[in-house]
Amino acid sequence: MIRRRREEKKKRRKEEKKKRRREEKKKRRREEEKRRREEKKREEEKRRKEEAKKKRREEKKKRRKEEEKRREEEEKKRRREEEEKRRNISFTPTSWKNEETS
């Protein structure tokens, strides 16, 4: 009788131990999955920020290039107008008259 109770107690402890191990294993697995999800989320956020940063840099570069092109066009136009003005002034009839009288 005593022996039987002792064996049942031993068996019960063994089963409780198994159960505890299973639960700890589940808990570790859940924590690991949670950690992996969080890590993945952080990596995704980092990647998204990098892409946004890259896009901003490219946009800035593009705007700078367009601004430079616009400035060059304005400079060409200004030079052309100055050249045209200089030509017109040198060949006007009044300038010829002035040259003839001098």
pLDDT at residue number 85: 82
Instruction: Give domain status of residue 99, yes or no.
Output: no
Q: Is residue 86 part of a domain?
A: yes
**In a domain? residue 98:** no
Residue 102 lies in a domain: no
**What's the pTM value of the predicted model, to 2 decimals?**
0.53
pLDDT band at residue 58, thresholds of 50, 70 and 90?
very high
What is the residue range of 39's domain?
A: 2-92
Residue 35 has pLDDT above 60, yes or no: yes
pLDDT above 90 for 84 = no
85 assigned to some structural domain: yes
Check pLDDT > 60 for residue 12: yes
Q: Does residue 34 fall inside a structural domain?
A: yes
Cα separation, 19 vs 8, in Å, equals: 16
Is the residue at 23 inside a domain? yes
**Pairwise CA distance, residues 26 & 54, whole Å:** 42
Number of domains in the chain: 1
Query: Looking at per-residue confidence, does 88 or 12 come out higher?
Result: 12
How far is Cα of residue 58 from the mean position of the Cα atoms in its chain?
10
Residue 47 has pLDDT above 80, yes or no: yes
